[in-house]
Amino acid sequence: MRKKIKIKKKPFIILFIVVCLVSLLLVFNKANSPINMEDKLSKLGYSSSEVKTIMKNVPKDEYKLILKKYNKSLVNLLSSKDYKEENFKKYIEYYEKNPKASIEDIIVIMNSKYNLMKYPASSLLASLVKEKYYIHRNVIRYLDYGNSHEAEARKIISIVNSKADYKFYTDTKEANVKDGNLILVNKFYHLPDKYEPDDLVTLTEKYNQGVNNKMRKEAADAFMKMVDGAMLDSIILKNSSAYRSYDYQVNLYDRYAKRDGKEKADIYSARPGYSEHQTGLCSDINKIDSSFANTKEAKWLAGNAYKYGFILRFPEGKEDITGYKYEPWHFRYVGIDAAKVIYDNNLTLEEYYAYYIEK
């Protein structure tokens, strides 16, 4: 009696599956081959030069995205000098959300390191993200301010970073005394009523001509070096007003407010607790008057103070940021490193603090 031969089914099933997979892969590759893609793109309506641009710049695994619909704007996107292949999918997604937006704006916004997919594309947003001092957490405030004020991107960023898009003396908080020489005291950051630096030293007659003749030691040492350095250039500098206590500022501000009214007084005098003079890090130099701006001493300070760690605290043209009128006599000690950055980049302490300290 002949034995029946048993055929094992498992190897045949595996072979069948492999053959099917290979066949599918071949079909897929054929459908997505360059020749096939070129034909399909041509049939959609793209010119031969446009087809070449698409084939050159679109990742192969994204070909199916291109075939979904005909769109001439796609070619403009791919032709942009700032186009990055790795961002292709982000460009398409953002463009579909903002079909009326400029292609260049879409490229700039999506090329930034920030996640801006949920924000409407605009030339304003594109200009903002290109700015050096852009802080992403402030983007909504940037857009709100920019859409309601005619201002360049850098100005918008400076205003918002400095909190000057808010009304002065609102949303205030206590200054961080741990910031040392970089402590920010202004119309949004105040000192405790009884705050007094524990390292105040008295300036001698050689360096002083005023009643308020104390500064913190590091600032005083730097101030004396600056005065000595100025003398080598035949420039005579002296402190007229440095550290002021809280109580002193109460009397000073009240006198100004009574004389000129609170609104005018706020332009040139700080409310008690909000005065930089209470930090012991600043000095009003020589003549406390706008005419000082035209003197050789003021010009020397404007070009040299940063070398000793001092900055012009309330510069001209930045009144909307600092909240104070231009004071060519008022210099603040921040240290040499910070002073150089502030000087080189034409910043106020508010702008520097927002980006380099608070951020």
Which residues are tagged catalytic?
A: 327
3-state DSSP assignment of residue 255: helix
Distance, in Å, from the CA atom of 162 to the CA atom of 164, rounded to the nearest integer, reads: 5
Distance, in Å, from the CA atom of 246 to the CA atom of 119, rounded to the nearest integer, reads: 45
3-state DSSP assignment of residue 240: strand
Structure tokens at 312: 């012009």
Cα–Cα distance list, 319 to 14, 21, 73, 268, 322 (Å): 79, 72, 44, 10, 5
Structure tokens at 38: 């070129």
Distance, in Å, from the CA atom of 4 to the CA atom of 114, rounded to the nearest integer, reads: 72
Give the Cβ contact number of residue 204 at 10 Å. Answer: 10
Structure tokens at 305: 């103070």
Q: What is the DSSP code (8-state) at residue 100?
A: T
Count of residues in the chain: 359
